[in-house]
Structure 1
C-alpha cells in the first residue's frame, strides 16, 4: 500500500538522537496523532534545512509519510516549519521545559492522541519562554496535575481514595502512590487541607481547566511539588528522571 502523507501537523520535538552520521531520530509530540517517531534524513548536515528548525520547545508544523499500513514505528520526516511566536526558554525555564518533555516521553504511548494535553503543553511552553519566573512553579504543578489526569493516573481529589469519604475542609491529606489521597497527621508540610484539594478538583473539572488549575496551584505549589514528583516518578519507574537528577545536581553545586 502506498505511503500515507501527514501534512501541516502541529508538533513539538521532545527529544532527538543520532541515527547515522548525518541523520536523526526524533520523538515528536503532535496534536492530532500523539507522540510519533520520525527519521530526519540529513538533518545533521550543515546545509540541511532541518538543522535550525528541529529544536525542543519550539512550535512547528511538520509533514511526514507513514509507510505501508501506517503501523511502522518510525516514519519519514518530509518537512518542518517553525511557527514562531516565542524564543527558546533559557535557564531554569529551559530545564523545566526539558523536564516536561521527559515526562511526555516516559508516560505517553506512541500514536495515542491527546489534543487537549497538546494545547496545554503549548500554553506552558509559551509561559516558559516569557521570562515569567515567578509563575514557573505554579505552571509546572498545573501541568503535572493535568498530565496525570489526562492519562488516568490521578485519583479524584475531593474524597479519600480508599474509603471514598468526602474530604473534611480543615483536615490534612497527602497524595501518595498506590494509596491515592489519604488523611495525614496535622503538621506534615507535604500535605494540603481538604478544602485545597477540593479546589484543585474543581479547577481540573472546569471548562477552561488549564487557567483554572494554574490559579488553584498558585498558593499551594510548594506543598504539591514533593507529592506530585513522587507520584510521577512512581508511574515513570526506574531510573530517576534525568532532568530531575540534573536539577538536583545543579542545586548541590
Structure 2
C-alpha cells in the first residue's frame, strides 16, 4: 500500500478560504517552499474543530498536509496547522491593505510555483501591518508591489528607458506605464519620478536585502508611485477591478 507523501511544518499564510461542504473549507495558502497551494480543511467549520481559531488570514502558520495522488493534484488535505504567534490581527486600513495584498497573490501567482524571497517579504509586510506604524503603510505597500512584479517577471528594469534602453538622466522625469514600461514623462504625467529616483528603486530591488532596501527607496516617492503601480498591477490582473480595491474606493465615497 502506497504511503501518502507529507509536507510537514511548512511556513504559510492563509490567503483566502471558501466553503467546501457543510463542515469543511477549501483554503488558498501561500507557503514558503511550496508556493501557492490549495488545501481542504476537513471539519474546519465544526465548533469543536482545532482549526477554527487558527485558519485566519494575515497570521503566520506552520501547516502539515498530505499530497493527493502523485502530488500534482489541485487540492491536498490539511492535517495540521499551528499558529506561530508574534503579532495580532491587523485592523482598519491595515487589514484592508493586507486583504489587498492577498488578492494580488491569488491573481498573479501560479500554484506550486515557490517564491521564498517573496514569502519572506510578505511576512515582513504583515508584521508592519499588525504594528502601530501606520505612517509606513504606503511605503510598505509600494515596496511589496515592486517586489511582487519583479519576482514574477512583470517589472521592467528601472534604470533604463524600456523601449530604447537609453540611460536615464538624473533630473529628467519618467513614468511607468502598463504597455510601454518606463518612458519619458509627458507634461500631463504628474506622477513621474526623476531618473535618480527610479535608479534608487532599482538599486533597492537588486540589493541582497531587497525588502528593506526597496522600502527605504520607496519611502520618499510612495505617493507618486501609487497610481503607476496600481495601473500596472490592474493591467496584469485583468478585469474586473480588484475586489479589495473597489471596496476601498466605495468606503472613501461614503
TM-score category (smaller protein): over 0.9
* Structure-2 residue corresponding to 1:64: 65
In structure 1, what is the equivalent of residue 154 of structure 2?
Answer: 153
Q: For residues 227 and 196 of structure 1, what CA distance do their matches in structure 2 show?
A: 14
Instruction: Say if 1:2 and 1:68, in contact at 8 Å, map to a contact too.
Output: no
The equivalent of 2:169 in structure 1 is 168
Matched position secondary structure for 2:220 = coil
Residue by residue, what CA displacement relative to the aligned partner does 1:52-104 show, whole Å, maximum 9, x if unpaired? 00000000000000022101100000000000000000000000000000000
Query: Distance between the aligned counterparts of 1:80 and 1:155, measured in 2?
Result: 38
The CA deviation at 1:239 is 0.9
In structure 1, what is the equivalent of residue 50 of structure 2? 49
Q: Secondary structure at the match of 1:135?
A: helix
Partner of 1:139: 140
Correspondence for 1:79? 80
User: What is the rounded CA distance, in whole Å, between the counterparts of 2:91 and 2:221 in structure 1?
Assistant: 25
Aligned to 2:124: 123
Query: Counterpart in 1 of 2:23?
Result: 22
Question: Do residues 31 (structure 1) and 28 (structure 2) align?
Answer: no
1:92 has 2:86 as partner = no
Larger mean CA deviation between 53-62 and 184-193 belongs to 184-193
- Measured after TM superposition, the shift of residue 187 of structure 1 is 6.3
The residue matched to 2:73 in structure 1 has which SS? coil
SS in 2 for 1:38: strand
Q: Which residue number in structure 2 is paired with residue 240 of structure 1?
A: 241
* 2: CA distance, partners of 1:34 / 1:188: 37
Distance in 2 between residues matched to 1:160 and 1:140, nearest whole Å:
24
TM-score (norm 1): 0.99
**Paired position in structure 1 for 2:253:** 252
Question: What TM-score results when the alignment is normalised by the length of structure 2?
Answer: 0.98
> What SS is found at the alignment partner of 2:196?
helix
User: How big is the shift at 1:2?
Assistant: 3.1
Structure 1 residue 171, shift from structure 2 partner:
1.1
Secondary structure of the residue aligned to 2:66 is: strand
Q: Tell me the distance in 2 between the aligned counterparts of 1:132 and 1:250.
A: 22
Whether the 8 Å contact between 1:2 and 1:67 is mirrored in structure 2 is: no
Task: Summarize deviations over 1:23-79 as a string: whole Å, max 9, x none.
Answer: 000000000000000000000011100000000000000000002210110000000
Query: How many angstroms does 1:186 deviate by?
Result: 4.4
The answer for unaligned runs of 5 or more in structure 2 is: none
CA distance in 2 between partners of 1:207 and 1:80 (Å): 31
- SS of the equivalent of 1:143 reads helix
Measured after TM superposition, the shift of residue 188 of structure 1 is: 2.9
Distance 1:178 1:188 in 2: 15
Distance in 2, Cα, partners of 1:209 & 1:117:
10
Provide the C-alpha distance between the structure 1 equivalents of 2:169 and 2:82, rounded to a whole number of angstroms.
Answer: 51
Quote the Cα distance in structure 2 between the aligned partners of 1:28 and 1:21: 21
- SS of the aligned residue for 1:185 comes to coil
